[in-house]
Amino acid sequence: MAKKKTKSKPRERENLPLKTRLIVLTESGYRCAVPTCRNILALDMHHIWEVSAGGSDDPSNLIALCPTCHALYHRGTYKQESIYAWKAMLVAITRAFDVEAIDRLLFLESCKKDFLVVSGDGLLWFGRLIAAGLASVDQKSNNNWQIVTYAVNISYKGCQLIEAWKQGDRTRLRKVMSGPVPGGSAISP
Ligand SMILES: [Zn+2]
Query: Rounded to whole angstroms, how far apart are CA atoms 98 and 29?
Result: 9
Give me the residues near ligand 1 (ion), CB cutoff below 5 Å.
Answer: 32, 34, 37, 39, 66, 69
Q: Are 85 and 173 in contact (CB under 8 A)?
A: yes
pLDDT tens sequence across 127-156? 989 999 999 999 987 666 678 889 999 999
183 alpha carbon to ligand 1 midpoint, in Å?
Answer: 35
40 alpha carbon to ligand 1 midpoint, in Å?
Answer: 8
Average pLDDT over residues 65-77: 94
Does the predicted model carry a pTM greater than 0.85? no
50 alpha carbon to ligand 1 midpoint, in Å?
Answer: 19
187 alpha carbon to ligand 1 midpoint, in Å?
Answer: 32
Average pLDDT over residues 52-74: 93
Q: Is the pLDDT of residue 12 over 50?
A: no
133 torsion bin: left (phi>0), alpha (psi -120 to 50), beta (else): left
pLDDT tens sequence across 90-128? 888 888 888 788 889 989 999 999 999 998 888 999 998
66 alpha carbon to ligand 1 midpoint, in Å?
Answer: 4
| Domains with residue ranges and CATH for the chain | 14-78 (no CATH), 99-189 (1.10.10)
36 alpha carbon to ligand 1 midpoint, in Å?
Answer: 8
Look at residue 9 in the predicted model and tell me its pLDDT. Answer: 42
Q: Which residues pair with 18 in a beta bridge?
A: none
Terminal-to-terminal C-alpha distance of the chain: 34
Burial of 141 (0-12, 13-18, 19+ CB in 10 A): exposed
8 alpha carbon to ligand 1 midpoint, in Å?
Answer: 29
